Amino acid sequence: MLKLPSRKEVIEKFKNNGGKIAAVAPYHYPKALFRAFNILPIELWGPPKQNTLESKSNIQTYVCSVAHSILAFYKKGMLKDCDFILIPHTCDSLQGLGSIFLDFLNPSQKVLTFYLPRGRRNVDLCFLRKEIKKIYKLLCEFTGQKPDYEEIINWIKTEEKAVSLQKKLIKNRLFLNIDDYSLYKIIRSKEYLPAEEFVKIAEKTLSAKKTNEKSARIPIIMSGLVPEPLEIMKIINEKNGIVTGDDFAAIGRRFYPQSEGNDPFIRIAKSLLNSPPDSSRGDSVKFRLNHLLNLASKTDAKGVVFYIITFCEMEYFYLPHLKKGLREKGIKSIVIDTDINQSLSQQAITRLEVFMETLQ
């Protein structure tokens, strides 16, 4: 596997070259806009394996481990190298986290919030454009810079290229001579690498690891928020499975379509609004089910693994309906609950192993 730089190395390098860092909570946000201000977004999907004792004074124990980990990470002083904190209002837990940062913690970093509409209508597009323009104005104020439209559009194109390569890595999965654990390490490096550096790594992976023979492993789809703990990929491979379809919020639900036009705020808004169906967007069960069925059809997937973070209500609400719809079409599924701060339990491992055996 290619040696990937750590987040710390990326942050140090970017700041040494005169850039600034934004710590970003999950998960939809205008990434290209930040790059136009020479700000590198570093995403906080947790981070995993945190002792979250510090967060419990502000957040209830039944709130998901992602919110707990982000707050604990901040309280330990681990965001001291960041200049900005962006918290999208993805769900109730993250909206509450945004309020805690703004109203109680008074961090040295500038804190921004970002609202994504729960619809895909013209009125939602107008609202989202205003939200993106609002962030643009705040960044102009905070940095003293004012990137022009052409500069922002150039960064939009760069980010679009990085997303297209993420898609290509998944699309060509059966012809890549690399295990799922290593591949997902590469795919997820886009969460912190500058897009231009991710592009080089993705292109190198596609050219160096390609094989002419299609893998004979059992194709499956994975769905959920984020593949943490990532060790689940090793178990799937050990049981002769291979991940060919991705419906993770951290990855597949951010396979944004390319956009056109001279207004960068409209381009970003259209791209975000036209993303794949997503529980955080309030999309219909039918929309999400059809998306999973289309993925299964395209990849010949035999089953779906719902890898769900405990207490993630927006994911749980869909599960009974999605599982029923998949079952009616002859596609098996399983729900594996996880906490990003703990290792995968032996019970979950055993259940997954049994599930994979039923797909043989």
- CATH classification for the domain delimited by 7-118, as one of 3.40.50.11890, 3.40.50.10320, 3.40.50.970, 3.30.565.10: 3.40.50.11890
Distance separating alpha carbons of residues 263 and 252, to the nearest angstrom: 26
- Looking at residue 239, its pLDDT comes to 96
pTM of the model: 0.96
Residue range(s) occupied by CATH 3.40.50.11890 in the chain: 7-118
In tens, the pLDDT along 316-326 reads 999 999 999 99
* Domain covering 150-358, topology: Rossmann fold (3.40.50)
- Show the CA angle centred on residue 101, arms to residues 247 and 99, nearest 5°: 75
- Looking at residue 50, its pLDDT comes to 83
- Tell me: pLDDT of 19 over 90: yes
Amino acid at site 102: L
- Tell me: pLDDT of 215 over 90: no
Nearest to 353 by CA among 264, 187, 239, 237: 239
- Looking at residue 214, its pLDDT comes to 77
Residue range(s) occupied by CATH 3.40.50.11900 in the chain: 150-358
